[in-house]
């Protein structure tokens, strides 16, 4: 539940920041009459995201077990690819996001009635589609019917909804100027945690492909601690729900998990340090006080 809460919080806050920038710029440039177009685009983005989530949830039903596992595993890998790209993109683009969106608003306002609707829909819809795909993959991993997981199906969804609701409240407070948060630190910490979550989703995606018969090695286990870790316990549910830990892990699953986690986290942290050094170097030097 915690993992999905942070997914909803991070993705929701990204979307909220986009909407906040769009709305604030129109208000400050005395173009309030264009606000309904922004909200129309946001509404369309939400509907498309919900429809995509419903398609992912109910579409594979009625298929064979192998087909469901093949689809689930493939989509999990795609979801990890999207969320990884999102983590690195937001880390780089956070500082220039406001200026880019303002430029898009100016061009769209001059282009025609539906242009602003499309700008808002694309800006928010990208976050919504990424959220729907990754939440679906994480939920399937945590509550898969073929596993011994005792995580209720409603728990991951509840965590995501609470995270999105928190993001909406934070977005409103940011717009009103009631709170100021260090977005660079926020996206750094949540980005690092989501890389850990994504590693578990990726590993289980490969496990699904093994169960579908697409990949070999299903019976070649790296370890089996099912007799030691009770998935019905609080710590078993925590490991499964947050880190997608599987007591019975194949060698391929473990190798994919380790390779993704070490490689991606190393590149991410190096980028964080590089941007921090660049920011420090960009600060003007302090002037020495002249003697009276």
Model pLDDT for residues 63-112, shown as the tens digit of each residue: 777 887 888 888 889 888 888 887 887 777 666 666 777 777 777 766 66
At 292, the pLDDT band (50, 70, 90 cuts) reads very low
Would you say 120 and 46 are in contact if contact means Cβ atoms under 8 Å apart?
no
Separation between Cα atoms, residue 140 and residue 133, nearest integer Å = 11
Nearest CA-CA partner of 210 in 218, 222, 199, 200: 218
pLDDT single digits (tens) 43-61: 999 899 888 888 877 776 6
- What span, in angstroms and rounded, lies between the C-alpha atoms of 30 and 70? 52
Neighbouring CB atoms inside 10 A of 104's CB total 19
Give the C-alpha separation, 208 to 68, whole Å.
9
Determine the pLDDT at residue 237: 66
> Between the CA of residue 219 and those of 3, 9, 142, 147, 250, what are the distances in Å?
29, 37, 21, 15, 7
* pLDDT greater than 60 at residue 187: yes
pLDDT digits (tens, 9 = 90+) for 120-145: 888 788 778 877 887 777 777 666 54
Show Cβ contacts of residue 158 under 8 Å, excluding neighbours closer than 6 positions.
Answer: 1
Q: What is the DSSP letter of 283?
A: S
Q: CA-CA distance, 245 to 253, in Å (whole number)?
A: 11
pTM for the model stands at: 0.69
* Measured CA distances, 218 to 48, 199, 210, 226, 251 (Å): 36, 19, 5, 16, 9
The pLDDT of residue 218 is above 80: yes
Q: How far is CA 120 from the centre of its chain?
A: 19
């Amino acid at each position: 539940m915690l993992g999905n809460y942070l997914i909803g919080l991070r993705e929701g806050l990204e979307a909220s920041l986009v909407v906040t920038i769009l709305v604030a710029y129109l208000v400050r440039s005395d173009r309030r009459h264009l606000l309904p177009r922004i909200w129309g685009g946001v509404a369309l983005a939400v509907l498309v995201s919900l429809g995509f989530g419903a398609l992912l949830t109910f579409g594979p039903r009625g298929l064979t077990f192998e087909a469901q596992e093949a689809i689930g595993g493939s989509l999990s890998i795609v979801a990890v690819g999207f969320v990884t790209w999102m983590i690195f993109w937001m880390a780089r683009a956070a500082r220039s996001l406001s200026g880019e969106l303002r430029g898009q608003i100016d061009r769209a306002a001059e282009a025609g009635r539906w242009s602003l609707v499309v700008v808002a829909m694309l800006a928010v819809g990208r976050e919504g589609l990424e959220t729907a795909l990754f939440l679906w993959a994480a939920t399937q991993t945590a509550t898969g019917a073929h596993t011994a997981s005792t995580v209720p199906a409603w728990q991951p969804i509840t965590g995501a909804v609470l995270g999105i609701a928190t993001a909406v409240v934070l977005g409103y407070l940011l717009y009103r100027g009631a709170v100021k948060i260090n977005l660079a630190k926020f996206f750094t910490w949540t980005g690092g945690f989501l890389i850990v979550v994504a590693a578990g989703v990726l590993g289980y995606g490969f496990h699904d492909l093994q169960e579908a018969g697409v990949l070999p090695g299903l019976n070649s286990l790296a370890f089996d601690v099912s007799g030691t870790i009770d998935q019905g316990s609080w710590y078993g549910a925590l490991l499964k729900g947050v880190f997608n830990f599987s007591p019975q892990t194949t060698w391929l699953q473990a190798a994919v998990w380790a390779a993704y986690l070490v490689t991606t986290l190393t590149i991410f942290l190096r980028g964080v340090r590089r941007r921090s050094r660049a920011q420090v170097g960009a600060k003007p030097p302090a002037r020495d006080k002249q003697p009276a």
